[in-house]
């Protein structure tokens, strides 16, 4: 169920990386070393970040910068993607 966007799901090939896992117990960003290790588990290649509306994607871009990883922000996020019926949408893992 998707309460905002016209189609539930995610951009095909996207991997979920919850932003809360970028933070330590005090609410600060984890160390660059810890974040590099975290993001290494998501695969290699160019990194693009999006979310539902753009807010948590900005947080993710900041965490990637702390880790020393270049990333691009897809500012339209899933809301823009899902509004174009020509674009594929994936569901599940």
> Total domain count for the chain?
1
- Give the integer Cα–Cα distance in Å for 17 and 21: 8
- H helices, E strands: number in the chain: 3, 2
For the chain, percent of residues with pLDDT exceeding 90: 63
For the segment 61-65, the average pLDDT, to the nearest whole number, is: 96
For the segment 22-37, the average pLDDT, to the nearest whole number, is: 96
Residues with catalytic annotation?
51
CATH number of domain containing 63: 3.40.250.10
- Give the integer Cα–Cα distance in Å for 93 and 13: 9
- Give the integer Cα–Cα distance in Å for 22 and 32: 10
Which range of residues forms the domain containing residue 8? 1-93
C-beta separation of 7 from 82 below 8 A = yes
């Amino acid at each position: 169920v998707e309460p905002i966007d016209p189609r539930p799901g995610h951009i095909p090939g996207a991997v979920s990386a919850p932003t809360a896992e970028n933070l330590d117990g005090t609410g600060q960003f984890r160390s660059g070393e810890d974040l590099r290790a975290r993001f290494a588990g998501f695969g290699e290649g160019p990194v693009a970040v999006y979310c539902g509306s753009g807010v948590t994607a900005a947080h993710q871009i900041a965490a990637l910068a702390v880790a020393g990883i270049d990333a691009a922000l897809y500012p339209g996020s899933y809301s823009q993607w899902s509004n174009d019926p020509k674009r594929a949408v994936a569901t599940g893992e």
